[in-house]
């Protein structure tokens, strides 16, 4: 992937922390990258409970966002407009749980999938351990982690997933959900930034 001003990144979400993360990372490499939010279904439960499920959700979001913009892409190509991007990617971000073999506790991790219409590249964020009371609440009520924090730890506030995230609450805002998404996207970009090395 060459540095270019003609990059369009379609993000399969309306979550502001994910959109900001994509804007920041893409513009590290592509000055005028256009980031286009396009809410897309993950096709998995609201709270993914395994690494495989989390990655699958990220891939589904990316592919569904790509397919949702197919008509716009076809019209643009037929008109051969001057601002038509030379590279286009759909990006899916999903947070979920994972277990580490022979280690107690349940961890939260963000997965990122980048789709170009043909293939995926995937990256992961750092993972952090989740308070046991949150895990128990989610399992008991079949809910989502943000909602669990709101009930178990009211001081976390509402809509935590659209603000600092659980990690922001647990680190006293020293590291927030946007950081997790940024790092997952950076890792997913590695094979695309080094195409010849992964040929």
Q: Give the distance, in angstroms, between the CA of residue 178 and the centroid of all CA atoms in the same chain.
A: 9
* Helices and strands: H and E segment counts in the chain: 7, 6
Q: Using an 8 Å Cβ cutoff, are 103 and 21 in contact?
A: no
How far apart CA 106 and CA 199 sit, in angstroms, is: 36
How far apart CA 48 and CA 36 sit, in angstroms, is: 25
Q: Using an 8 Å Cβ cutoff, are 58 and 15 in contact?
A: no
Q: Using an 8 Å Cβ cutoff, are 15 and 164 in contact?
A: no
Confidence of residue 27 (pLDDT cuts 50, 70, 90): very high
Question: What residue ranges define each of the domains in the chain, with the CATH number in brackets?
Answer: 7-97+107-125+176-198 (3.90.950.10)
pLDDT digits (tens, 9 = 90+) for 87-143: 899 999 999 999 999 998 999 999 999 999 999 999 999 999 999 999 999 999 988
How far apart CA 105 and CA 129 sit, in angstroms, is: 6
Give the pLDDT mean for 140-147.
91
């Amino acid at each position: 992937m060459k540095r270019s001003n003609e990059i369009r990144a379609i993000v399969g979400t309306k979550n502001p922390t994910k959109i900001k993360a994509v804007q920041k990372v893409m513009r590290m490499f592509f000055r005028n990258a256009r980031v286009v939010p396009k809410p897309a279904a993950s096709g998995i439960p609201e709270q993914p409970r395994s690494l495989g499920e989390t990655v699958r959700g990220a891939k589904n979001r990316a592919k569904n966002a790509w397919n949702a913009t197919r008509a716009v892409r076809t019209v643009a190509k037929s008109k051969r407009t001057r601002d038509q991007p030379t590279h286009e990617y759909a990006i899916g971000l999903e947070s979920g749980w994972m277990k580490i073999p022979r280690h107690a506790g349940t961890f939260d991790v963000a997965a990122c999938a980048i789709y170009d219409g043909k293939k995926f590249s995937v990256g992961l964020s750092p993972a952090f351990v989740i308070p046991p009371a949150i895990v128990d609440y989610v399992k008991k009520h079949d809910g989502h982690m943000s909602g669990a924090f709101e009930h178990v730890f009211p001081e976390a506030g509402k809509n935590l997933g659209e603000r600092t995230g659980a990690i922001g609450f647990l680190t006293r805002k020293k590291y927030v959900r946007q950081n997790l998404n940024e790092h997952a996207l950076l890792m997913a970009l590695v094979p695309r930034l080094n195409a010849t090395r992964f040929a």
